[in-house]
């Protein structure tokens, strides 16, 4: 067992963890932050995507013990986030989810796309989204939701 200190959703957290526990299990089981879903647990599906030091990573292939000192953010920590709020409405409007299992990971990646690549075209959005699998929607609604939020923010940016 190893002691770690990190920041989760802006709050300092100390814990003692077994080295083999991955970050996704740590968030769900230690901290009861269950927005992060675990799908494949082998780094393929992207459902467990969280932000570590500001960038999206797969929490099933990052050990909690390796996050000592890191700044971790889950979907719970972005509840008031402006982009996530816009994405939530757009995902609903464009039918970007059906069963919802992939949705938390999709939201994390979608937020990264909208904030980092405000002008990305559909092809680029799809490339950036390629690390998140959805078996319900066929992705069209998810891509449309992201494009919608990009447009909303662009028209506001352009407004006087």
Question: Which parts of this chain interact with other proteins (CB under 8 A)?
Answer: 2, 18-20, 22, 25, 41-44, 46, 49, 52, 55-58, 60-63, 65-66, 68, 109, 112, 126-128, 130-131
**Residue 14: CB minimum distance to other proteins, A:** 17
Residue 100 falls in which region: left (phi positive, over 0), alpha (psi -120 to 50) or beta: left
H/E element, 50: strand 49-52
Q: Would you say 4 and 67 are in contact if contact means Cβ atoms under 8 Å apart?
A: yes
CB of 108 to other proteins, least distance (A): 9
Nearer to other proteins, 60 or 145 (CB): 60
Write down the H helix ranges in 7-159: 23-25, 82-93, 103-116, 122-128, 140-158
Pick between residue 63 and residue 101 the one whose CB is nearest to other proteins. 63
Q: How many of the other CB atoms lie within 10 Å of CB of 22?
A: 21
> CA of 111: how far to CAs of 66, 88, 100, 105, 132, in Å?
24, 10, 17, 10, 13
> With contact defined as beta carbons under 8 Å apart, do 102 and 132 qualify?
yes
* 93/138 with CB nearer other proteins: 138
Minimum distance between the CB of residue 57 and other proteins, rounded to whole angstroms? 5
For other proteins, the closer CB: 128 or 144: 128
CB of 63 to other proteins, least distance (A): 7
Nearer of residues 8 and 47 to other proteins, judged by Cβ: 47
Give min distance, CB of 158 to other proteins, in A. Answer: 27
């Amino acid at each position: 067992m190893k002691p770690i200190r990190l920041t989760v959703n802006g709050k300092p957290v100390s814990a003692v963890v077994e080295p083999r526990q991955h970050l996704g299990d740590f968030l769900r089981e230690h901290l009861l932050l269950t927005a992060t879903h675990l799908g494949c647990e082998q780094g393929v599906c992207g459902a467990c995507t969280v932000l570590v030091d500001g960038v999206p990573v797969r929490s099933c292939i990052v050990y909690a013990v390796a996050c000592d000192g890191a700044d971790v953010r889950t979907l719970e920590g972005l509840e008031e986030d402006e982009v996530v709020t816009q994405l939530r409405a757009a995902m609903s409007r464009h039918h970007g989810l059906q069963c919802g299992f992939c949705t938390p990971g999709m939201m994390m990646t979608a937020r990264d796309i909208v904030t980092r690549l405000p002008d990305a075209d559909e092809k680029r959005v799809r490339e950036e989204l390629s690390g998140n699998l959805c078996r319900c929607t066929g992705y069209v609604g998810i891509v449309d939701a992201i494009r919608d939020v990009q447009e909303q923010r662009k028209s506001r940016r352009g407004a006087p």
